[in-house]
Each structure stands twice: as structure tokens, then as C-alpha cells.
A and B are shown apart, each in its own frame.
Chain A
């Protein structure tokens, strides 16, 4: 399968924080959701994909090309949406279009006005008077109007009301009908992903924990509940993290088979949501 984004052992160090040895592939024609807690390294990774940040070491390739020689070619094919407004806030959408449109060879004015109509965006009102949701729609209209093959979004659903979040997800789903499109977006609202994501990349403390299809995640991870007497040094090894309570334990496992072998029917195994997975990984010990 073709990879649109490929990160190879990418490392970036900051004071007191680093993104380490990231190997990430984003597959063409699919929606990849990028999850992780606040400060896990999602934005840093996205900035490296956009070449806003240069990695200290490692390789970043988009469409099989690298930024040193093909910067314009690559960005020509990307539509971007960031978590905060990056457009000149004192300007109206029409003027912003005037600045952004000539940058792209394949800018499509008709498409742009179609989206502004669909999103009910006023063309002559200053961006700073827009609500958070409208600003997001404006960014989206601009990102979608140059026939981008890859849409990169950093927390597009943050701060949006549930109704617009759904509208956005529906819209993204519609976009995916064109099989050449790829969407990569970060979020910490994991319920968004159950609806549209094909793949989940999970980052934690600057390290990529996994990058699997949503099905694989569901098959590999589960919540296990049982009595405290079942836990000892050996049995604990099957868990990512264990939450102990006087009434019993609840733990996340990355190896359902092993748990079944060890505990048999003495525990309850439940489907783990992405939120459960994030929560238990945050808890610490990594056995995976």
C-alpha cells in the first residue's frame, strides 16, 4: 500500500520535551486519526510533516518526496487546517482568498464559493468576528479549494459544538469518496475517530505507541476486570496498566489471547475504547 506521509526515525529535541524516533506511515486513500494527550507531541509531529519544524534527525517524506528539493511541489498537494486561526484576523474571507489563491496552481474559485455557500460563511466580515466554528469552516473551505490530495488537520474538532463536529465528520467522509484523498488529523476527542478513522496512530510522551487499523486496535486491546486475588507478579505482565480498587481491578491489555489463557473465565473482558487505551497508557508502565 502506498504511503502519502512517511516519517523514519524522526527525532526532535526541545528543552524539557522531545519527540523521539517516530516511525509513522500515513496510507493513501484512508483517514488516519492521530491521538494522544495534550503535550504528547501531536502538534510537533504535524509541524514536522508541514516542514514548519525541521527534525534534528530522521527523514520526512511526503508523496515519496523530501522537502529539501520539492518543498513547493509537496505543499501544492496539501490542504491544511490548524487548531487556531492562522489567517490575518483583521481581514475578510474574500481578501484572504485573494492572498491564498494565487499561491496554488490548482486553485478552484467555483469550488471555494461552493464551500462558502455550503458553510454559510460571510465573505465581507472580518475573520476575528467569526466564531470558533466559523473560523474552522473558513480554514476548511480554503484547505479544500485547491484539490489537495492530502488534508492535514491539527485538532480540527477542538472547541466545536457537537453538531458542527458531526457535520465536519460527515463532510470529511464525503471527501473520502474520491479514493485518491488522504486525511490525517489529530484530535483528543476520540469518539470522532470511531466514526470516520481507518487507522489510528497513538502518540504518548513523544513516542509513537502504535499505528494500526481501527479493527486491529479493537482486536488487540481490551479492558479486563476481575478480583484482586487474581493479580500477582506473573499475571500482571499481560497488562499495560492496572487500576486497583478495593472491589477489584480493571486493566488494559494489549494481548487478549494471553489474558484468556491466563485467567480463563475468572475475568470479564470488555471492548476498550480509544479513550480507555489513552487513559491506561497515560498510567505508565509499557509492556507492549
Chain B
């Protein structure tokens, strides 16, 4: 079980006094659940090294295995303190799994852990898409005030535009995941640079998502 934070404080089971591995905080001797110490990262919690290129099938297996250990269903006949610990632990597990299984959320979580808070201008129109997006926005405004055949023509143009933007987003998603193994292999010196590129990729993807959402909503509601 790899951990990256060096000096791990060992914990003792309050019930039987046995040393408990701090990632699990489940006493293997008497099976009691201990409160989880603060600041256990989702990576540690899911028994993973601090890397972005991960095996999703293995992650799911870990999720199921830990669910079987921590779910409140299995602690209903235990003292209140343990019921409480199981509830909190399960909540953490569910959040850890949801965060790590999604590439974007995984990357953002790792950036936060690394203290990489740098952000690009979130609402800036990506330069290479500027012309396209401005055109779509114009069409959207025209659509809202148009009628009949003209309206239908604009709707079709907008749908085609949305398709294209979705493709662009898919490319960005792929680019992000291509960066993962590069990040994992990189030394300290190159890390910031790669994280920055990931940040930009995510921000652009989010920007496109908002545009797509906005157009689809308008097409759906007709206004």
C-alpha cells in the first residue's frame, strides 16, 4: 500500500490496543472502526499512489471492497461512535470514488493537493475558436427572434455547431488524458508546466460545455 506523505502516524485501536494501518483505520484484530484522521487524501484512501494515469477497473474493485468494509449497513448493531464513523467513512469513500473515476475531477483534485491554484481566465474565448463561437452566438440571437423556415435553418446550423463543439470537447478530453502519463513520469522541474497545460485544457473544455449547454437549452425551450 503506497503512501506518499512519509511519516505516517500509527494509530492504536481504542478497543483492543492493536496497531491499525492508518489508511484503513479498521482494526484488523477486533474489527472495530476508528474515526478517520483528517487530511487523508482520496488517493491514499483508495490505496493509490499520487498518479493520474489509473486503472479504472481496479479503482472500481477497490471501491466495492471498501464499501463492504465501511458501509453503515454493517454497523447498525455497533455502538453509536462506530455507526457514526461508518457513516463518515462511507461518505468519504463515495466522494473519493466519484472524484477519482472522472478524469477532469481527478486532475483538479490532484492540482489542489499539489497546491497548484493557478487558473487561466475562465471566461476567455479560446483564440482558435473565437470566430466559430462568435458566429454561433450571432446565430443564437437571430434564432430567438426568427420565425418559420428561417428559424428552422438557424436551428439546424446551431445543431451542427453544437456537434462540432462536442467533438472539440472530446478532443480536449483526450488531450487531458494523454497528459496523465506524461505528468506521472515528469520530475519536479517539469510538473508545473504540465499542470498548467492541464488547467488550460480543462478550462477550455468547461467553456465549451457552457456554450453547448446554453445553445441546447435555447433550442429546447425555443426561446
A in complex with B: no
